[in-house]
Structure 1
Amino acid sequence: MYSNEETAKSAPRILGAMFLIVIVISLVSGVVLSLSGSISDILVKISDNLTLMRISILFGLLNSLGIVALASLLYTVLNQQNRIIALVALGLWLSEAIFYAISQIGAFALIPLSQDFVKAGTPEHSFYQTLGDFLYFGVDKQAVTIHMWFYCLGGILWYFLFYKSKFIPSAISLFGLIAASLGLVGVVCEFLGAEVPIFVYLPLLPFELTIGLWLMLRGIKDSSKI
């Protein structure tokens, strides 16, 4: 059995490893099967790659679980800095995990629809496209956008607590605050109907890699204060 002190000392390094694990799972989920084009093209591609689609969904669900674990570890490490802020951030990231899981429901529902669409001879201007458009763009993609809303809001709070704690270099904390704030602006613009280029969200990737590696390899400056 580990003592509370040993658990507290190991939590930051486990947190760093979890940051990296979630990044890997998220990237695998996104690249296993890339979908683009019209909804008819998307349905045909899913039907032709059912195994890859299921693998992508499985990794998406694993990513949702990873977010829950990540949020729990962040709360363990940072709650003594400000318990209320940490609780709010925890709730935001748990909501993020829920909406990411909801997006996978939309993706999973596309599998039988794509099979029926192909069996029907890929008819044009049919209810298949209407339902597919709803599931892919209305459920899958919109849930991912909402999940980013909760991620960015929670991230701003987590990285503020890191900045306040001085557990990691201030430059890393500020990098996270800037990246999450920029991402939040991008999400709000998407809600308002604007097209947001991918580079708005790209700073989040190097930040999570940086904080993940730092915490895993270096831990925090004074873990006895956790």
Structure 2
Amino acid sequence: MTQRADARAAGIAYLSYIVFTMSSSIIYGKATAGDDVAQQLSNLSQMLLSARVTILLDLLQVLCALVLAVTLYRLTKTFAPSLALFAMMFRVGEGLFGALPILSKLELIRLVSTHALNADAAGYSLLANYILSRPDEQFSEFCFVVGGFVFAYLLLRGRMIPSWLAWIGVITIGVQMICVPLHMAGFVKGSIVNLLWMPILAYEIPLGFWLIFKGVEDSHRPIRHTAQA
């Protein structure tokens, strides 16, 4: 593939990723809405089709993450091969860890589908609560912020996209790169982390369109830290 084709593929993957992620989140949120576990399970049992649709959307998210890992690496490797490879590994990890929420959904759907009315209600609710509260997405999120930050930095240093756009990515993803690990460790509330995902859209949406229609500036100048005379 040419650099132009890589850029176009990356742009399409960025925008598709956002659509698939938001669609899955909204649909699954409605399917598992409720004030307690019993109500959530009751609602899910009536919206199994919608829940299964989110599994397909999540699989497409995994695909987009892997496409971004490969295309962004190809776009930035001539500029900083080691950093580009480092970032690609995290974005591949993002895609692989993105399968964990899918497994949780499959477990929950199977639990709801096979549950009998005379089954152990306490054990049923306990298991369902464990699946619903399991932080599967946090591993993928951590890989996303690390890989996304490094790629944004490379796009900035390589002057491959407008500097203002690259700076938005460096700052917004950089802040989230600090908050996500703190949230995983229990120092930051989930509501704060969820709120901080929104500013990243101000980077990824314009970036997606830019890569599709403008591509990137060709840069073969490697990063060098040399003292000037």
Say whether the fold is shared (TM-score over 0.5): yes
CA distance in 2, matches of 1:129, 1:182: 37
CA distance in 2, matches of 1:50, 1:89: 37
Structure 1: 5+ residue runs without aligned partners? none
Whether 1:217 aligns to 2:213 is yes
Moved more, 187-196 or 13-22: 187-196
CA distance in 2, matches of 1:122, 1:27: 35
Deviations 1:13-47 (A, max 9, x none): 22112211111111221122313332222221211
How much has 1:129 moved relative to structure 2? 1.6
Normalised by the size of structure 1, how large is the TM-score? Answer: 0.88
Deviations 1:128-176 (A, max 9, x none): 12111222212xxx12111111100111110111011101011111110
How much has 1:121 moved relative to structure 2? 6.2
CA distance in 2, matches of 1:21, 1:200: 20
Name the residue aligned to 1:195: 189
Name the residue aligned to 2:226: none
Identity fraction in percent? 23
Structure 2: 5+ residue runs without aligned partners? 223-229
How many residue pairs match? The answer is 216
Moved more, 144-153 or 27-36: 27-36
**Residues 186 and 196, structure 1, Cα contact 8 Å, conserved in 2:** no
Normalised by the size of structure 2, how large is the TM-score? Answer: 0.87
Secondary structure of the residue that 2:78 maps to in structure 1? coil
Aligned counterpart in structure 2 of residue 75 of structure 1, from 59, 73, 76: 73
Q: How does 1:84-123 map to 2 (within 5 A)?
A: 84-117=82-115, 119-120=116-117
CA-atom RMSD, angstroms? 2.0
CA distance in 1, matches of 2:118, 2:159: 61
CA distance in 1, matches of 2:176, 2:18: 16
Whether 1:13 aligns to 2:8 is yes
Whether 1:146 aligns to 2:139 is yes
